[in-house]
Structure 1
Amino acid sequence: MNLDSWKSQMRKGAAEFAVLSALRDGELYGVELVARLTGADSVGLSEGTVYPLLRRLQSDGRLQARWEVNDNAPPRKYYSLTKAGREAVDGMAGFWSEFQTQLNLIVRA
């Protein structure tokens, strides 16, 4: 396996965790969320990856969305975690912490 392929697999595995984590502190509108996720170069998420993932997480019941209409700006779609989404991200964060700790022990050995 080449390095680029390995990096791609790592990013795919972390995408859902990244989206849910970005919403832990409150709702964000789509463009703002995408900018936050695509701005982290090492994570490597693209707009074409984020929006389908948002739709899937909403369909799975982990996210909810609402439209906000403002006369002076285009409508914005805001995303936030549902109870199931918060439980999912909390579980992922616990696993991630333990996984990272254990992997660091191996990598530094």
Structure 2
Amino acid sequence: MDKDKQQESKWDAQLRKGTLELAILAALKPRPMYGLELLNNLHSFETMVISEGTLYPLLDRLKRDGLTDASWQQEGDARPRKFYGLTDKGRQKLKVLEARWRQSVADIETLLAAQGQ
């Protein structure tokens, strides 16, 4: 991998690290999901491809922080799955993070537009 690609990859990783909590909370907003379903949902977005080793510790932390809850559910004959959903505190945190994200994007867009003048 050439140096430019390495720098790009590092930048992508840092961006993903900084936005992963927001992405997970946003993905869980419509409905609870089990871990692999959530992982596959995230993988449908180019910048959110992460490993199970990244997702599950983060889900555990979000649960400890009271932002998500988790429950085992049986679906038909399949083995039980652990579903993660937002708590009221998690929904509130999502609103705060979403507002900060939108402000950050607007600020960066303003900076980028000014550079083009």
TM-score by length of 1: 0.90
- State whether residues 38 and 47 of structure 1, in contact with CA within 8 Å, keep that contact through their aligned partners in structure 2: no
CA distance in 1, matches of 2:102, 2:76: 44
CA distance in 2, matches of 1:81, 1:68: 16
Match of 1:68 among 56, 68, 73: 73
TM-score by length of 2: 0.85
Runs of 4+ in 1 over 3 A off after TM superposition: none
2:71 alignment partner, SS class: strand
CA distance in 1, matches of 2:68, 2:22: 13
Higher helix share: 2
Q: Which AA in structure 2 matches 1:73?
A: A
2:47 alignment partner, SS class: coil
- State whether residues 15 and 45 of structure 1, in contact with CA within 8 Å, keep that contact through their aligned partners in structure 2: no
- State whether residues 43 and 50 of structure 2, in contact with CA within 8 Å, keep that contact through their aligned partners in structure 1: yes
- After TM superposition, give the deviation of residue 71 of structure 1 in Å: 4.9
Would you say 1:4 and 2:9 are equivalent positions?
yes
Q: Which residue of 1 aligns with 2:43?
A: 38
RMSD over aligned Cα, in angstroms?
1.6
Q: Would you say how many aligned residue pairs link Structure 1 and Structure 2?
A: 109
- State whether residues 27 and 81 of structure 1, in contact with CA within 8 Å, keep that contact through their aligned partners in structure 2: yes
Q: Indicate the structure (1 or 2) with the bigger Cα radius of gyration.
A: 2
Higher strand share: 1
Q: Which residue of 1 aligns with 2:3?
A: none
CA distance in 2, matches of 1:24, 1:107: 31
- After TM superposition, give the deviation of residue 69 of structure 1 in Å: 2.0
Would you say 1:51 and 2:56 are equivalent positions?
yes
Q: Which residue of 2 aligns with 1:93?
A: 98
